[in-house]
Structure 1
């Protein structure tokens, strides 16, 4: 089989690049995965603990809400503790934006048109420039400006795009260009159409999201359809999966979406069957256990777990480690797509975990050695 697969190619929209702290967003940078804390930002200990769990899940950027002075007062401690850039979420009070910028936020999530006069916008821009902050404009179908609702009658793609362009102009009028934009909606069709329209109108990075998507299962499905459609079309530079679930789950789902499209590779990619009466072991419980036991691995590695030999060997040929159910409690193990040995039922889980961990360590060491060899003597 040819290794060239043009039907898998995704031509990303060309956007200019900005920096959110140390993380590049846009241009040819990897698509970043974000989430948002749900603790009180005024409680730095609880917020830092949650940020740590999100970092461990792979979050590239984390947003915290700053609705009051107590929150921005705690923000400096949170920023210093975080290993990833922190975005301060500001809605209406421009002074919170000034305080957040001074506290070390890497980005301000703010709609310039919501904070009052041009002088206030100018103050926020000055604070952002002085502190090296980016700005994320966040248009939402649920909070469109009254004049746009009167003009269009209801939230629609044109209304969301017009709102975004109005906010962008306020920043550009003050010679500020380090911004990214989101045009979110809970309706998948509305969000996708708005992002497609905005992608043609601007060259800035786009922050993707289906807002108020729902719980873990429903929200994952909605987000996968909406974000997947946009990403497949090459649109999107950073994303957040909005779930009524713990923020680390948003990160995991975000990476799974990117991994499915070949846009990011992180951790173990599991290929597994839905199970049936042919299965030689309990596939569902085995996959659950393996996903939990292997969640600490960051090295991109593939694992196939198939209950029988119908599709097992074929899937195993495409993965780093493979397991196929057999008879009499004895199962076949594949390494690098090749049949290697068998394992007994009672030893299977621990054995596969050890194989994947060993393979990941081997791959990581090879990458490190390759990097060293490229450094001039």
Structure 2
């Protein structure tokens, strides 16, 4: 389910909001000034399925690097700016497709207006970002002396009105917290008060394990309620992992098709092969296929065929051998050492 009554915003030709599919974003962890490394990471993210990429713009050199980066990539580029309004202006002059700012830390009204005027001139949308960690003291005091969902929403909508006062409405709103339940509540509140598209995610969610769990819970609830037009799974690690996780979250909720979903059994005392290693090998192998399939990896030939019945394709291990299964029917028996190759060969030659 997607909330279809939001405004449609075009970011370098990628439209979010309205009936458009939910776009997947990530952020480079390279130094933006290092054009070669940044481009290499963006190209890897493109291959993984990233729709929009963001880079930090902490220096004028980083803002100027945008021009060279843009020439070598194929997805919209977002500049992330804090504090210095001149960096936002320079990023737009160098061709960035969207800017991410918190108008509250850009400075005076004149500086905010200068940024908005440049955005209007270059047709660059603005992502208005407010994090729980940057909430203004008056709003913290207003809501009991601590950060609340209500305070985050009020802060974000104040910033939106600030930009609207300069006659600009090409905006995406981002309100984030590392507190999953607070983040969900804030998005539920803001979704009832604005028609701007929402960039959703759990900020500072953590490492691959904790970050994936928190993101899956938070994003799963929000997206299932129709909240969110573009998402980022924030992980402490390789940004490519963020794309894999985001794709799986969307696929699990039925919001995106394409790509192979791997299901595998948890192993038991009947397992006589290295199922854990095999499942990981399969998961890595299928990343390169643009097939809308479910592949099952099962640990024994006793229950494997039955458990894999709902999958399009599956393998089940036995003692020194295994079965290749298609739509619940056994296709052939192969030595254990050839299971992965047999699966790959079938995928390479797949036809319904």
TM-score, length basis structure 2:
0.95
Whether contact under 8 Å (2:325, 2:332) holds in the other structure is yes
Which deviates further from its counterpart, 272-281 or 217-226?
272-281
Residues 95-120 of structure 1 show CA distances to partners (whole Å, capped at 9, x for unaligned) of 11111111111110012232123322
Which deviates further from its counterpart, 329-338 or 188-197?
329-338
Partner of 2:249: 257
Partner of 1:290: 282
Which of 78, 90, 96 aligns to 2:81? It is: 90
3-state SS of the aligned residue for 2:26? strand
What does residue range 121-160 of structure 1 map to in structure 2 within 5 Å? 121-152=112-143, 153-160=145-152
1:310–1:176 Cα change, 3 Å: farther
Distance apart, 1:315 and its partner CA: 3.8
RMSD across aligned C-alpha pairs, in angstroms? 1.6
Partner of 2:99: 108
How far apart in 2 are the matches of 1:315 and 1:271?
10
Which of 200, 205, 208 aligns to 1:213? It is: 205
Which of 283, 293, 297 aligns to 1:301? It is: 293
Distance apart, 1:280 and its partner CA: 4.4
How far apart in 1 are the matches of 2:5 and 2:349?
39
Whether contact under 8 Å (2:2, 2:228) holds in the other structure is no
Whether contact under 8 Å (1:113, 1:170) holds in the other structure is no
Partner of 1:30: 21
Partner of 1:281: 273
What does residue range 1-377 of structure 1 map to in structure 2 within 5 Å? 10=1, 12=3, 14-152=5-143, 153-309=145-301, 311-326=303-318, 328-359=319-350, 362=351
Whether contact under 8 Å (1:76, 1:104) holds in the other structure is yes
Whether contact under 8 Å (1:13, 1:235) holds in the other structure is no
Whether contact under 8 Å (1:332, 1:339) holds in the other structure is yes
3-state SS of the aligned residue for 1:259? helix
Residues 76-105 of structure 1 show CA distances to partners (whole Å, capped at 9, x for unaligned) of 111121111010001111111111111111
Distance apart, 1:11 and its partner CA: 5.6
Whether contact under 8 Å (1:94, 1:120) holds in the other structure is yes
Runs (4 or more) in structure 1 with deviation over 4 Å come to: none
Distance apart, 1:51 and its partner CA: 1.1
3-state SS of the aligned residue for 2:287? coil
Count matched residues: 351
3-state SS of the aligned residue for 1:81? coil
Gaps of 5+ in 1: 1-9, 364-377
How far apart in 2 are the matches of 1:309 and 1:134?
55
Which deviates further from its counterpart, 162-171 or 271-280?
271-280
Residues 13-49 of structure 1 show CA distances to partners (whole Å, capped at 9, x for unaligned) of 5322111111111111111111111111111111111
1:71–1:11 Cα change, 3 Å: closer
How far apart in 2 are the matches of 1:281 and 1:58?
32
Distance apart, 1:176 and its partner CA: 1.3
Gaps of 5+ in 2: none
How far apart in 1 are the matches of 2:125 and 2:306?
47
Whether contact under 8 Å (2:199, 2:230) holds in the other structure is yes
How far apart in 2 are the matches of 1:358 and 1:121?
56
How far apart in 1 are the matches of 2:349 and 2:85?
52
